[in-house]
Amino acid sequence: MSFLAKFRRQINRDDGKFFQVGNRPLGWIEAAGMLLATGALAAWQLQEVIGIGGLWSAIAGAGGLLLAVLGHARDEEDKG
């Protein structure tokens, strides 16, 4: 089976889990942290247009990454 066929089968699988990266479901804290970090990157790129300082983007990005790490650690702790 070719790489593209395996990749297509992996993408098209339907296992009922909506938030998924690879084969691991995401918790809500981790997903919120990743979204916050992504939003901080967008705000950093558009800081002159939206009128905020770069420090706000850096703080939001650091907070988002911290939430993602803490959410992942919490999920791993719950597993045992």
Per-residue pLDDT of the chain (80 residues; tens, 9 = 90+): 788 888 777 777 665 555 555 667 788 899 999 999 999 999 999 988 888 888 999 999 999 999 999 988 887 787 76
3-state class (DSSP) for residue 62: helix
Is 14 part of a structural domain of the chain? no
Say what the pTM is: 0.65
Indicate the number of domains in the chain. Answer: 1
Specify whether the CB–CB gap between 53 and 43 falls below 8 A. Answer: no
Longest distance between any two alpha carbons in the chain, whole Å:
52
Q: How far is CA 71 from CA 34, 36, 37, 57, 78, in A?
A: 10, 13, 14, 21, 11
Instruction: Please give the structure tokens belonging to residue 23.
Output: 């084969």
The residue range of the domain holding 53 is 28-80
Is 46 part of a structural domain of the chain? yes
